[in-house]
Amino acid sequence: MATIAIMGTGAWGTTLARLIALEQVRIARGEGITDAATVPGVVLWEHQPERAHELQWKRENRDYLPGFPLPANLRVTADLADAVRGHSLILLVTPSQTVRENARALAPLVGPETIVVSGSKGIELGTHLLMTQVLAQELPRGTRVAALSGPNLAIEIARGMPAAAVVAARDHTTAEEARAALNTARFRIYTGDDVVGIELGGALKNIIALGVELPITAAIASVLFEGASIIETVSALMLREPKRELEGLGE
């Protein structure tokens, strides 16, 4: 079973840490392991020592995920070396504009076989780089990097609602190993090799949704006001040929 560390204690990072820890408990019980001390654990890293102590002591992320207790096999620490060293997979779930800083701190601690998965969605300001591209610049050459993305809401997954996501890597073996480590009974992980597509989809999904929703909303309003034919045309173009409408985003 993979050993997993998660960087980032927001709603998404905490949800993933909790989900994976609970899955490891479920698997251990299925294998007849009843001693809690022998159940594989997950480490969650929080950069503020005071907050890390609060999470570890109170066993709940009251700021971002209230009402969902942390499993006993989930440990929180502010010591980055303690959190990630020796782990086979590191999941980076920090705000997108802090990924470079965190990756730089992580770089000397990454082992040659470690997989670093970006669960952060966004594009770096200034460089316009995707998160895996930032990781590739900051982590040691040859580090195995992947991206995790999907139509996911932290609160729904924390409640146990079924969900799915894609983990993408240029190397098929990396994607498969990451999938095996992150897949749970209610959070189904699929693999892919279109890393750019997966990351752009995660970064731009809300923009795309607004682009489709606004013309539709306007079209409904046009039943009462003039201009229905023009709005209907715009809506049809956005719905029927979204690829063409989005082709200029990267220019």
Catalytic-role residue among 58, 121, 205, 243: 205
- Tokens encoding 46: 């929080």
Is 121 considered catalytic here?
A: no
Token pair for 161: 């609602």
Instruction: Give rounded-to-5 percent helix, strand, coil for the chain.
Output: 50, 20, 30
Residue 144 forms beta bridges with which residues?
Answer: 115
Q: How far apart are CA 115 and CA 90, in angstroms?
A: 6
Q: Beta strand 4-7 with 89-92: parallel, antiparallel or unpaired?
A: parallel
Q: Does residue 126 contact residue 187 with C-beta atoms inside 8 Å?
A: no
Which residue type is seen at 142? G
Is the Cβ–Cβ distance between 90 and 115 less than 8 Å?
Answer: yes
Is 19:71 a contact under the CB 8 Å cutoff? no
| 137 alpha-carbon distance from chain centroid | 20
Task: Tell me the catalytic residues.
Answer: 205
